[in-house]
Amino acid sequence: MKIFILVNPGMEEVAQQEVKELANVSAKVYDSVLEVEVDDYSKLKKLQSARRVLVSLGKGLETFDNDDWKNHFSADKLFKVEIENVKGQENRLELARKVAGMVYAELDFEPKLELKKPEMLVIVYFNGKDYFVGVDENVEELNSRSYRVFAHSASFKGDLAYYFVRKSGFKKGEKLLVGFCKDGTLAIEAALFSGEKVFSFDESRQNITASRKNAQLATVKDLVESQKYALDELDVRFSEKEFDCFILQITTKDEGKLNEIYYQASYILKKGGRIFIIGRENWELSVSEKFKLIFEDTVKKGDSVHKFWLMEKK
């Protein structure tokens, strides 16, 4: 069965790695799309890096290239054709009509078209070069994460948080601290990935309450420990050289705390431990002499660009 996995731009490499780990298959990579062949795609629905997982109808808009998708339709199942990343309302409507007609032509019954409350979607995604068409039985995007009920405006959707966790080099078996945790999404995604205890802190009681509630909804309440700590308390709250990895998202109001961040990170991290900092695109971060810069990069999500740095304790 051919599957298309839609991801946000820039996340292809991390998604390819996750697919290999989760399903033990190699993915063919296009811009914002991964293509895999599997017998059972249920595991792929658990991908933390994916935006959508589609049962392929084909690449291009001329013909559908297999019959696997037909089992997902029935006479009483409500569906909608959704066009993604195509400019112009008229263009999208024309494509939707064309693809709906192709679906009807291939089936020996007429499924019901429902625009407001569909039970499944036929997705037509244009990545700038090719059209990818497939069936998605999840109407909501996977990266929305139902656990994010108490969301923070400066936080991330689940797929981007997972992306940052993996870019930090965090691995199963390591001890992780997440700083300025906001609604807890970074810590929760790390716990879902590792299945192990993750520590987090924030200076706001409101954020800690949100993080704990979201962790409970994500069924990782026992794996995510969120505490109200000030940044300058870390060397009292934790032991020296306790952590392998320290992830922080630093908003503008906390940029002035960089020296204290380096001091605390140097204390709590093991030798060779990593600090991963996420900030705004135009922030010119200075690297402490206590750390070695491994890389810096950016990722775009919608209209926002996030810059990030990975450093290793000397």
**Average pLDDT value for residue range 25-34:** 98
Specify if 122 maps to a domain.
yes
| Element containing residue 210 per DSSP (H, E) | helix 205-217
What is the per-residue DSSP string for 12-29? HHHHHHHHHHHH--PPEE
> Which residues, including other chains, have CB under 8 Å from residue 11's CB and lie 6 or more apart?
49, 159, 160, 163, 299
CA 1/CA 267 separation, integer angstroms: 51
pLDDT of residue 10: 95
Last residue within a domain, chosen from 110, 143, 176: 143
Specify if 153 maps to a domain.
no
What is the per-residue DSSP string for 95-133? HHHHHHHHHHHH-SS-PEE-SSS-SEEEEEEE-SS-EEE
Specify if 151 maps to a domain.
no
Same domain, 29 and 85: yes
Same domain, 201 and 115: no
CA 154/CA 169 separation, integer angstroms: 23
The partner residues of 177 in beta bridges, in order of sequence, read 199, 246
pLDDT of residue 67: 80
Same domain, 206 and 109: no
CA 201/CA 131 separation, integer angstroms: 43
Token pair of 176, please?
A: 């992780």
**Average pLDDT value for residue range 18-26:** 96
Contact indicator for 121, 80 with CB cutoff of 8 Å: yes
Residue 66 has pLDDT above 80, yes or no: no
**What does the mean pLDDT of the chain come to?**
96
Instruction: Give the residue from 278, 3, 20 showing the smallest Cα distance to 163.
Output: 278
The partner residues of 153 in beta bridges, in order of sequence, read none
Specify if 149 maps to a domain.
no
Residue 303 has pLDDT above 90, yes or no: no
CATH number for the domain harbouring residue 6: 3.30.2130.30
Same domain, 114 and 258: no
**Average pLDDT value for residue range 236-263:** 97
List pLDDT tens digits, range 259-281: 999 999 999 999 999 999 999 99
Number of domains in the chain: 2
Same domain, 274 and 134: no
Long-range pairs for 202-205: beta carbons < 8 A, 24 or more residues apart = 202/226, 202/228, 202/229, 203/228, 203/229, 203/230, 203/231, 204/228
Positive or negative: CA dihedral 44, 47, 49, 50: positive
Instruction: Give the residue from 65, 46, 44, 54 showing the smallest Cα distance to 6.
Output: 54
State the residue range of the domain holding 284: 158-313
CATH number for the domain harbouring residue 309: 3.40.50.150
pLDDT of residue 173: 97
Specify if 287 maps to a domain.
yes
Cα–Cα separations (whole angstroms), residue 278 to 50, 134, 184, 256, 263: 21, 34, 15, 14, 18
| Element containing residue 299 per DSSP (H, E) | strand 291-301
pLDDT of residue 222: 98
CA 142/CA 248 separation, integer angstroms: 24
> Which residues, including other chains, have CB under 8 Å from residue 266's CB and lie 6 or more apart?
288, 290, 291, 313
Residues in the chain: 314
Amino acid residing at 59? K
Q: How far is CA 274 from the centre of its chain?
A: 21
Last residue within a domain, chosen from 88, 118, 143: 143
